[in-house]
C-alpha cells in the first residue's frame, strides 16, 4: 500500500505555479482504482485522503514506513463514505454493512480494517479521510439518514444545496476529523460562494456524481490571488489552510468535504467579502 506523498506549500510560492504544477501539488487525479487502495498523504495537517475500491478481492489497510507504525490506525482516526454499490467494512472481525451513501467513523486503535463489496458487478467505492488522533473514540456507523442535513443557498444564486454532516459533533465524536457530503440541486452550480477560508483547518474536496463531459472549476488560492483547477468526475483536491475552496460546475454535482486542524467548529469560517476577490 503505497502513499502518494504531497508536501505542504507556501502561498508566496504557490502563486507562481503553472497549471501543471498546481495540479501536481493539489489535485488527486485517480481516487478509485479497481481492487486497489489509492491514498494520498498530504503534509497539510497530515491528512490522508483517497479511495478504496474492492471488486474481486478484499482490501486491507496497512501500516507503512511513511506512518511509522505497525498498523494504519495506530495513531489515526478514519471516516469513510461509500459512493458506490453496497459494501462491508470489517473492523477487527466485526462486520459493518455500509450501503450506498452510508458512512462510518472508525476510532484510533482499530487494528484490522478490511473493505469488501457486496456485488462485484456493482462495486462499493469507499472515499476515505484519515487524520492523526490523540485518543480513541468509539466507532460509529453513520447511515445516510443519520447525517445532519443543513439546507443552504438560493435558486437565484445557483447554489441550492444540502450539506449532510457525517463526522460532526452532532453525529459522533472525533479527535480532529470533520467530514460530510454536499448535494447540489439540479440547476445549481456553485458551492460555498461567497467563499471562505479557515486558517484553523485544512480541507479536501472530492467531486463526484458528474458525467464524462461535466467539469467543476475548483477555485483556490488566497482571496486576492485566486487560481482554478479543472476537475473531472471522482477527483479530489487539497486545500491548504490559507486557501479558499469553492467550485462552480457545468452541471449540478455532489462532493465530499473533509477537514482537520485546530478545531471542529463547522461554522468557524472567515467569509470573504465579494469585492475582496481578485
Ligand atoms: O468548511 C466547510 C466546507 O468548505 C464545505 O462544507 C462547504 C460546503 O459544503 C458548501 O458550502 O457547499
Ligand atoms: Zn471550508
For 226-245, the pLDDT digits (tens) are 999 999 999 999 999 999 99
Residue 271 sits in a domain whose CATH number is 2.60.120.10
CA of 213 relative to ligand 1 center, distance in Å: 24
pLDDT of 104-147, one tens digit each? 999 999 999 999 999 999 999 999 999 999 999 999 999 999 99
Question: What is the position in ligand 1's atom list of the atom closest to the CA of 159?
Answer: 12
CA of 75 relative to ligand 1 center, distance in Å: 27
Give the ipTM of the model, two decimals please.
0.99
Q: Which three cell numbers stand for residue 234?
A: 471522482
Instruction: Determine the pLDDT at residue 258.
Output: 99
Answer yes or no: is the C-beta of 192 below 6 A from any ligand 1 atom: yes
CA of 135 relative to ligand 1 center, distance in Å: 26
Answer yes or no: is the C-beta of 163 below 6 A from any ligand 1 atom: yes
Q: Which domain holds residue 93?
A: 3-276
Q: Where are the beta strands (DSSP E) in 111-154?
A: 113-117, 126-132, 140-142, 148-152
Single out the residue of 46, 75, 38 nearest to residue 206, CA to CA.
38
CA of 121 relative to ligand 2 center, distance in Å: 35
Is residue 1 scored above 80 in pLDDT? Answer: no
Nearest Cα residue to atom 8 of ligand 1: 192
Is residue 158 scored above 90 in pLDDT? Answer: yes
- Domain count of the chain? 1
How far apart CA 224 and CA 146 sit, in angstroms, is 38
User: What are residue 53's DSSP bridge partners?
Assistant: 36
The burial class, CB within 10 Å (0-12 / 13-18 / 19+), for 183 is middle
Ligand nearest to the CA of 152: 1
Answer yes or no: is the C-beta of 182 below 6 A from any ligand 1 atom: yes
Instruction: Determine the pLDDT at residue 2.
Output: 86
Give residue 167's pLDDT band: very low, low, confident or very high (50, 70, 90).
very high
Annotated binding residue 228: no
Give residue 66's pLDDT band: very low, low, confident or very high (50, 70, 90).
very high
Provide the sign of the torsion angle of the four alpha carbons 28, 29, 32, 33, taken in this order: negative
How far apart CA 192 and CA 64 sit, in angstroms, is 36
**Is residue 166 within 8 Å of 179, Cβ to Cβ?**
yes
CA of 78 relative to ligand 1 center, distance in Å: 19
Annotated binding residue 198: yes
Q: What share of the chain in percent tops pLDDT 70? A: 100
Annotated binding residue 271: no
Amino acid at each position: 500500500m503505497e502513499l502518494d506523498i504531497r508536501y505542504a506549500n507556501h502561498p508566496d510560492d504557490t502563486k507562481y505555479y503553472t497549471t501543471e504544477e498546481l495540479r501536481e501539488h493539489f489535485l488527486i487525479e485517480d481516487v478509485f482504482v479497481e481492487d486497489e487502495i489509492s491514498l494520498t498523504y498530504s503534509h497539510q495537517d497530515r491528512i490522508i485522503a483517497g479511495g478504496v475500491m474492492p471488486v474481486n478481492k478484499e482490501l486491507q489497510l496497512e501500516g507503512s514506513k511513511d506512518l511509522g507504525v505497525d498498523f494504519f490506525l495506530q495513531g489515526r482516526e478514519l471516516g469513510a463514505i461509500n459512493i458506490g454499490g453496497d459494501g462491508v467494512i470489517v473492523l477487527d472481525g466485526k462486520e459493518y454493512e455500509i450501503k450506498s451513501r452510508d458512512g462510518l467513523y472508525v476510532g484510533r486503535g482499530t487494528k484490522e480494517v478490511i473493505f469488501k463489496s457486496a456485488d462485484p458487478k456493482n462495486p462499493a467505492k469507499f472515499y476515505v479521510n484519515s487524520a492523526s488522533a490523540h485518543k480513541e473514540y468509539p466507532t460509529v456507523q453513520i447511515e445516510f439518514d443519520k447525517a445532519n442535513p443543513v439546507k443552504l443557498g438560493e435558486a437565484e444564486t445557483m447554489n441550492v444545496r444540502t450539506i449532510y454532516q457525517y463526522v460532526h459533533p452532532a453525529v459522533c465524536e472525533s479527535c480532529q476529523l470533520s467530514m460530510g457530503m454536499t448535494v447540489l440541486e439540479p440547476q445549481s452550480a456553485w458551492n460555498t460562494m461567497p467563499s471562505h477560508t479557515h486558517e484553523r483547518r485544512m480541507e479536501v474536496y472530492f467531486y463526484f456524481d458528474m458525467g464524462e463531459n461535466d467539469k467543476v472549476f475548483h477555485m483556490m488560492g488566497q482571496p486576492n490571488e485566486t487560481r482554478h483547477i479543472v476537475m473531472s468526475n471522482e477527483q479530489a483536491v487539497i486545500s491548504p489552510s490559507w486557501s479558499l475552496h469553492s467550485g462552480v460546475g457545468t452541471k449540478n454535482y455532489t462532493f465530499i468535504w473533509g477537514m482537520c486542524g485546530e478545531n471542529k467548529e463547522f461554522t468557524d469560517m472567515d467569509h470573504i467579502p465579494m469585492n475582496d476577490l481578485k
